[in-house]
Amino acid sequence: MGLFSKIFGKKKSDNPFDEEGIQYYIKIDDEAFGPFTLAEVRQYPLLEDTLVSTNTLNGEFYEAKYFECFDDIVQSLEPDFKIADDGTIVYLKRRNGNR
């Protein structure tokens, strides 16, 4: 049992962003939405530049790509394909290796 668990009597999660009491906010078109739990905000199709904050960040918003808790769901802004000079579609590999 860690020092904080002994003092406060609660085991801390491996993911500090999954702690009870953490509230998430999403900013879209300069309007903030929330509060959401981590489970709720993970249901949204977040882009890597979607602005996200928590009640622990003093009103500062950061792009979703900077939150490790969203690494597996953040959608890249990189295109899936490009159009070659001859008009053919060339598929590009995504970060996770999928086409």
Work out the percent of the chain whose per-residue pLDDT is above 70.
Answer: 72
**Does 7 fall in a domain?**
yes
For the segment 9-38, what is each residue's pLDDT rounded down to a tens digit? Answer: 444 445 555 566 899 999 999 999 999 999
Quote the number of domains for the chain: 1
Distance CA 89, CA 34 (A): 40
Average pLDDT (61-72) is: 91
**Does 17 fall in a domain?**
yes
Of the candidates 59, 53, 65, 56, the one whose C-alpha atom is nearest the C-alpha of residue 26 is 53
Query: According to the model, what pLDDT value does residue 5 have?
Result: 41
**Does 49 fall in a domain?**
yes
- Write out the residue range of the structural domain in which residue 77 sits: 3-91
pTM exceeds 0.75 for this model: no
